[in-house]
């Protein structure tokens, strides 16, 4: 039975399954929901829960979608308070950075010997806790957020504008990056999102623009801004354009010293721009004129950055690249070109309005089509498992989930390279990945996990009664393949039944 669930080829996952659009009327979803509605909802969010289903039934697809596109997180108050209480979000960034640097220096200053070893261990634990807190904030949002479209989009943009917590002080900035940079702009204008990431401490530190200064340049961020974030590879720009953008970005960096100290040293001058830890320092900027994407950018200081970003996001290649990426994530690994073209047209007409582009995509015929199905990446798999198994229950301790994402190869803020985790189906269907998913399904399905203890201890909970839930009956049971039905019929306990369901191809495909 285990072998059947784990080794069924992805291309055969639907073999023997009645196409959802041909289900007999007796198997129609209760409450006016058709198979197309379930297919649409499985694309719209990480995973279904009862509250989402009830809201969709109440509003209908268009009103439900428009409510989500308005951008409210709709997070339960207790969960919002849990996130706000995390020290990484409750402490101002300058204080966090100062503490991080002090701890680093203390370790360096400790003489070799047992004290040095103890200091190294303490520093390592502190660094791990910073990343764990950032992961906890994102997982709590993803699991309990009532606006599941926005939660998926926050995860999508976090991966698109990827930062690696293991580099320098990025781990200090990771939670702020999600909460105060990505989240507020996830459904706004794409230009504003680009500018927010451009000025974020996490991005400036990760892609080295904090080191990009006149006569001491660094083109890392300029290259990735064009290649990964906005235009894509082979979009018609040249190496000269990358170097010109690098010059535009000189002086955009981090405020590591108090402003008053800079003023006392005589380093303040007209044209200095600050916002949080971001600083544009004209002393480090190349004020020469630049030729970028066929346009002249006069040397004016900080205003050059806005002009360059405007030129980038108004390129037809940008509209197509972002639309393609969104359609690949939400609809199919190879989305229909006509859908991508329609989304790109909306992008151009709306001046890069992300919500408008998503509306075009999600009101398309393809968004409600049962095929092609996408294999869930680990984040989608973990979050959808929790939303089904614990349907609206609080999850006090998300640390085990972050550890499972690590084991499945997709740790939050853990991608070393700036390209983000691959989100296509083929990247996550290896035998090792499926084995880890079966193990995780067993942990969730048996109730033997540490999710409901603040200290990570405590007695295990009872197995969740998935097969008796209305959520399972309404959204999963009607679309199960015969192979999965047969496997579930062989289960000898509720925990085993849960494990078989969560590890089945039917559940692992969105």
CA angle 58, 63, 69 (to 5 degrees): 125
Q: Where do the structural domains in the chain lie, given as residue ranges?
A: 2-48+373-508, 316-368
Residue with token string 């279904």: 48
pLDDT score recorded for residue 26: 27
Long-range pairs of 52-56 with CB within 8 A, sequence gap ≥ 24: 52/146, 52/148, 53/471, 53/474, 53/475, 55/146
What's the angle, vertex CA 114, arms to CA 112 and CA 119, rounded to 5?
A: 80
Please report the pLDDT score of residue 104 as a whole number.
94
Which tokens sit at 386?
């929790």
DSSP 175-225: HHIIIIIIHHHTTSBHHHHHHHHHT-HHHHHHTTGGG-BTTB---HHHHHI
pLDDT at 10: 38
Q: Comparing C-alpha atoms, which of 253, 226, 220, 221 is closest to residue 241?
A: 226
The full 3-state SS of 263-317, as one line of letters, equals HHCCCCCCCCEEECCEEECHHHCCCCCEEECCEEECCCCCHHHHHHHHHHHCCHH
pLDDT value at residue 450: 86
Chain CA centroid to CA 404, Å = 16
Alpha-carbon distance 187 to 401, whole Å? Answer: 27
Which residues of the chain have a pLDDT value below 70? 1-32, 257-268, 454-460
Q: What is the DSSP letter of 478?
A: G
Indicate yes or no: pTM above 0.85. yes
């Amino acid at each position: 039975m285990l072998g059947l669930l784990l080794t069924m080829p992805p291309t055969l996952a639907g073999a023997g399954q009645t196409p959802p659009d041909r289900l007999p009327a007796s198997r129609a979803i209760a409450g006016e929901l058709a198979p197309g509605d379930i297919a649409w909802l499985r694309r719209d969010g990480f995973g279904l829960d009862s509250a989402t289903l009830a809201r969709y039934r109440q509003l209908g697809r268009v009103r439900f979608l428009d409510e989500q596109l308005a951008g409210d997180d709709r997070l339960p108050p207790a969960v919002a308070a849990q996130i706000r209480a995390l020290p990484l979000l409750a402490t101002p960034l300058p204080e966090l950075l100062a503490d991080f640097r002090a701890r680093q220096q203390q370790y360096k200053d400790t003489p070799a010997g047992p004290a040095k070893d103890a200091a190294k261990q303490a520093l390592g634990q502190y660094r791990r806790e910073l990343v764990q807190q950032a992961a906890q904030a994102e997982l709590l949002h993803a699991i309990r957020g009532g606006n599941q479209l926005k939660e998926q989009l926050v995860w999508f943009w976090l991966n698109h504008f990827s930062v690696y917590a293991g580099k320098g002080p990025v781990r200090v900035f990771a939670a702020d990056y999600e909460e105060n940079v990505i989240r507020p702009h996830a459904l706004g204008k794409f230009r504003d999102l680009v500018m927010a990431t451009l000025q974020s401490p996490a991005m400036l530190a990760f892609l080295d623009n904090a080191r990009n200064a006149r006569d001491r340049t660094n083109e890392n961020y300029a290259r990735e801004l064009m290649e990964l974030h906005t235009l894509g590879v082979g979009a018609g720009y040249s190496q000269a354009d990358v170097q010109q953008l690098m010059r535009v970005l000189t002086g955009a960096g981090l405020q590591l010293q108090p402003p008053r100290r800079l003023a006392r040293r005589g380093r303040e001058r007209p044209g200095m721009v600050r916002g949080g830890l971001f600083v544009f320092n004209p002393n480090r900027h190349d004020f020469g004129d630049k030729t970028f994407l066929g346009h002249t950018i006069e040397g004016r200081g900080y205003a050059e950055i806005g002009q360059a970003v405007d030129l980038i996001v108004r390129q037809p290649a940008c509209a197509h690249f972002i639309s393609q990426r969104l359609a690949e994530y939400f609809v199919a690994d190879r989305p229909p070109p006509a859908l991508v073209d329609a989304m790109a047209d909306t992008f151009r007409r709306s001046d890069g309005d992300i919500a408008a582009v998503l509306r075009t995509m999600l009101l398309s015929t393809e968004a409600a089509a049962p095929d092609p199905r996408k294999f869930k990446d680990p984040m989608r798999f973990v979050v959808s498992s929790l939303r089904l198994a614990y349907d609206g229950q609080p999850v006090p301790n998300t640390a085990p989930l972050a550890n499972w994402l690590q084991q499945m190869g997709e740790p939050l803020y853990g991608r070393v390279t700036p390209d983000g985790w691959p989100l296509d189906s083929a990247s996550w269907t290896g035998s090792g990945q499926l084995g880890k998913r079966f193990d995780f399904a067993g942990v969730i399905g048996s109730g033997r996990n540490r999710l409901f203890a603040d200290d990570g201890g405590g007695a295990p909970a009872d197995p969740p009664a998935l097969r008796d839930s209305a959520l399972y009956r309404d959204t999963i049971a009607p679309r199960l393949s015969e192979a999965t039905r047969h496997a579930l019929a062989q289960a000898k306990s509720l925990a085993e039944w849960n494990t078989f369901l969560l590890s089945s191809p039917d559940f692992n495909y969105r």
